Amino acid sequence: MIPVPNLMPALPEIFVFGMACVILVADVFRSERAPLLPYALAQLTLIGAAALTALGDERGYAFGQMFVADELSVLLKLGVYAVTFVVFAYSRDYLQARGMYRGEYFVLGLFGVVGMMVMVSASHFLTLYLGLELLSLSLYAMVAFQRDSALATEAAMKYFVLGAMASGMLLYGMSMIYGVTGSLELSAVAHAVAGIGADDIVLVFGLVFIVVGVAFKLGAVPFHMWVPDVYHGAPSAVTLYVGTAPELAAFALVIRLLIDGLEDLAGAWQGMLVVLAVLSMALGNVIAIAQSNIKRMLAYSAISHMGFLLLGILSATPAGYSAGLFYVLTYAAMSAAAFGMVILLSRSGFEAERLEDFKGLNQRSPWHAFLMLIVMFSMAGVPPTVGFYAKLLVIQSVVSAGLVWLAVLSVLFAVIGAYYYLRIVKLMYFDEPAEVTPPIAAPREFRFLLGANALLLVAVMPWVGDVIDWCNAAIRSLP
């Protein structure tokens, strides 16, 4: 008799994938009287998946130890649902105003969510790779969503070609690890690596290729070339998606590969991550100063934030991993609010992509200028925002690891980075508007969600200890 596999740990993934297929079919037969059907179904899918994930009591492995449901995967999945919910809500009116409102946007977004969910629950190299490719293919298609835009098409082609090269690197590294350890299961690989040690040259070469693949997915320097072009070329609604939830999956990619599988090679990958972190913080912060396009500025800002994220990982301690997890959750919330403001100021036929478009925002709308001020302060790491606490935690982890010089360097780069965030504040409060602009018009639910998103960056501070405890518990669940 063939045993029935236990599918309960993967029930949220099955639900989201099934609903994405349902929305795809429903959109084909959608009546013109129900234009919001794909959007409403997509949001209900995310709410349902969150309920299944939070209330589900099935923890453990599935599909022959290839899939794991643990505390880390639960926390990251809830983060992915929440951020994607906000992204869809911000995107709806933007897409409608530009004639791009199609069900495919939400279907591709949900397929990308499934890819992220598989990545955060992977306990096998192949599962991790399948999740990564599902997410990547969805992102390539979404970047090219505005088909008549040469800029978007070029960005999608560049993203696809460079992404394929990075995937090849990652796959080649995995094959070399398999050749040495004889397994693709992360726990078995970790056990084999502990016995072999870091002296095996093939093992180290495999690690190098894996770190290169991971660095590309994170957008870390010198594998960052795709980030500014994709952020700039894609429609703002797609940039919002690319720059938020996938960062949570990228963090899971690092944790599952380097911590779950190859932690005994920490002495080898720590040095590589130090180089990537320093280059990312330096180049990201310095080049962002020269940008006049806010989407490109936020792209280089993202590169520098990935450098700070790597500070937590390279400390190779549970406290550092927890700090990295807290950092990526904070960054996803900050990035969603920043791109939400870009979308808010845009209107049909006009994209608020230049820094000058923020001139005199305080005169036009003091409330939205205040919200943007909170977002910029949090990204810069100004107290009492949650961004300050996130930077403080990763720097503390580096100090605890004995890398004081790196902590000093990261503080220096954080000060340099504060310049371009504060420049936005200066434009909003001290400059006159560049031209006569119509009043900001956005649906009430959009403005409410954006306000809650931005205020959360300050309002969460009394409970930040609880969030840290959740991050610590998630890291402790790792094998």
pLDDT score recorded for residue 98: 87
- Cα 464 to its chain centre, rounded Å, is 20
165 and 119 Cβ atoms separated by less than 8 Å: no
3-state secondary structure 197-260: CCCCHHHHHHHHHHHHHHHHHHCCCCCCCHHHHHHHHCCHHHHHHHCCHHHHHHHHHHHHHHHH
pLDDT score recorded for residue 1: 63
- How many CB atoms neighbour CB 318 within 10 A? 14
C-alpha distance from residue 196 to each of 75, 208, 226, 347, 369 (Å): 33, 17, 36, 59, 57
Which burial class, exposed, middle or buried, applies to 99 when counting CB atoms under 10 A from its CB (0-12, 13-18, 19+)?
Answer: exposed
Residuewise pLDDT in 10s, the chain (479 residues): 666 677 888 999 999 999 999 999 998 888 777 788 999 999 999 999 999 999 877 678 888 889 999 999 999 999 999 999 999 999 999 999 888 898 999 999 999 999 999 999 999 999 999 999 999 999 999 999 888 889 999 999 999 999 999 999 999 999 999 999 999 999 999 999 988 877 889 999 999 999 999 999 899 999 998 999 999 999 999 999 999 999 999 999 999 999 988 999 998 999 999 999 999 999 999 999 999 999 999 999 999 999 999 999 999 999 999 999 999 999 999 999 999 999 999 887 778 888 988 999 999 899 999 999 999 999 999 999 999 999 999 999 999 999 999 999 999 999 999 999 999 999 999 988 877 677 777 888 899 999 999 999 999 989 999 999 999 999 998 87
On whether residue 1 sits in a domain, the answer given is no
Domain count, the chain: 1
Residue with tokens 């899939």: 67
On whether residue 208 sits in a domain, the answer given is yes
On whether residue 57 sits in a domain, the answer given is yes
Q: In terms of residue numbers, what domain contains 292? A: 8-477
On whether residue 3 sits in a domain, the answer given is no
pLDDT score recorded for residue 156: 94
Output DSSP code: residue 68: E
Q: What are phi and psi of 68, to 5 degrees?
A: -125, 140
pLDDT score recorded for residue 99: 87
pTM of the model: 0.95
On whether residue 2 sits in a domain, the answer given is no
Which burial class, exposed, middle or buried, applies to 271 when counting CB atoms under 10 A from its CB (0-12, 13-18, 19+)?
Answer: exposed
pLDDT score recorded for residue 353: 87
